[in-house]
Amino acid sequence: MKGRLRGALNKPIAMALLLMGSALLFATACGATPQTILEPTTRSARDSLDLLKFVFWSAVGVFVVVEGALIYVLIRYRRRSGDGLPRQTHGHTRLEIAWTIVPTILVVVIAVLTVPRIFALAQGPEADTLRVRAIGHQWWFEFVYPDLGVVTANELHLPVNQSVEIQLESEDVLHSFWVPKLRGKLDMVPGRVNKFVITPESTGTFLGQCAEFCGIAHALMKFTVVVESESDFAAWVDNERAPRAPPASEQAKAGEALLASKGCVACHTIRGTEAAGVIGPELTHVGSRNHIAAGILPNTHEGLAKWLSGPQDVKPGNFMVIPELSEDEVESLVTYLVGLK
């Protein structure tokens, strides 16, 4: 008797704990959501969200009907003391037809809503569309503007309300380009160019990342998309086209000399200097970017110093080979790189 009573009491307690845990999980999910698909800022992202909402609420409706029927049957036809063997029934033709037709209709409706959106997402660019090549590397993103003569890394700048064609490529392995607020995921496949067209509708900085496992540092392969006004974008392009800013101090000059003596020029490009490598990110205006190391460190004096002092500690497995540097050498390099704006 005590065991039965204890079991009966434990069930409500377990249910209460489950509900409290679910409520807590829901509450924590309502905070800042920089990489949510629920706040679309392009038509393609909004169309995808609308389709997701329809499928989700359809699934909720199916769940409520099925579970409601199940609970009703369990209660209404539960076995009671004194009941004999119930009447045996084999099949129910009308019910079986109904639960075949209803899901079929639902699937057809989903298909009718989905197919036009697939064709819309595959539409080609307009005449005045801005072209950008997004190239995936292990483990960073390169962005090339072929019509503007601009090359940058890990920070994609786009003008608001302008059609943009993103051409997705990969230099090594399979990557995936994903900015949740702008568009769904699309793979970056070696030897193949995938494309999509978007028109950003809101200014701001949007977080993106590689969404396809691509090696040890996959989780640390991030980037940002800066959507800005047409005038701000034009000013950014003009600045990116300009040669590097000359060193402003003796310490910065020492840092520029260290780039050559330490072998950095073999991997990185800084226009206006002997640095012309294409293995690593372009650094001509690295000082103007918001983040370094593919979005995982702020582009500050401290962030640069941390990266140069131990790139393998910050991003294990990355291909940046750098000799051990003294504190003075790190300080000189940081001073020079901060000035490249």
Q: What distance in Å separates the CA atoms of residue 273 and residue 292, rounded to the nearest whole number?
A: 21
Length of the chain: 341
Mean pLDDT of 12-17: 62
Amino acid 86: pLDDT: 79
Provide the pLDDT confidence category of residue 191 given band limits of 50, 70 and 90: very high
Q: What are phi and psi of 255, to 5 degrees?
A: -65, -40
Q: So what's the pLDDT on residue 82? A: 81
> If DSSP codes are grouped into helix, strand and coil, which group holds residue 179?
strand
Tokens for 205, please give them: 């900085």
250-338: same fold as 130-241?
yes
User: CA–CA separation, 36 vs 31, rounded Å?
Assistant: 11
Q: Label residue 246 by pLDDT band (50, 70, 90).
A: confident
* Of the options 2.60.40.420, 3.40.50.11540, 1.10.10.520, 2.60.40.10, the CATH number for the domain spanning 130-241: 2.60.40.420
Between CA 114 and CA 122, with CA 119 as vertex, the angle to 5 degrees is 125
Q: What is the pTM of this model?
A: 0.81
Residue pair 237/148 in contact (Cβ under 8 Å)? The answer is: yes
Q: Write phi, then psi, for 196 (nearest 5 degrees).
A: -150, 160
**pLDDT given at position 23:** 58
Going edge to edge, which strands form the sheet with 140-145? 150-153, 140-145, 130-137, 164-170, 194-198
- Going from N- to C-terminal start, the domains of the chain cover 130-241, 250-338
Closest by CA position to 222, among listed 288, 294, 161, 286: 294
What are the tens digits of pLDDT across the range 267-325? 888 888 888 888 889 999 999 999 999 989 999 999 999 999 888 889 998 888 888 88
| Parallel, antiparallel or unpaired: strands 204-210 and 222-228 | antiparallel
One CATH from 2.60.40.420, 3.40.50.300, 3.40.50.720, 3.40.605.10 for 250-338? 2.60.40.420
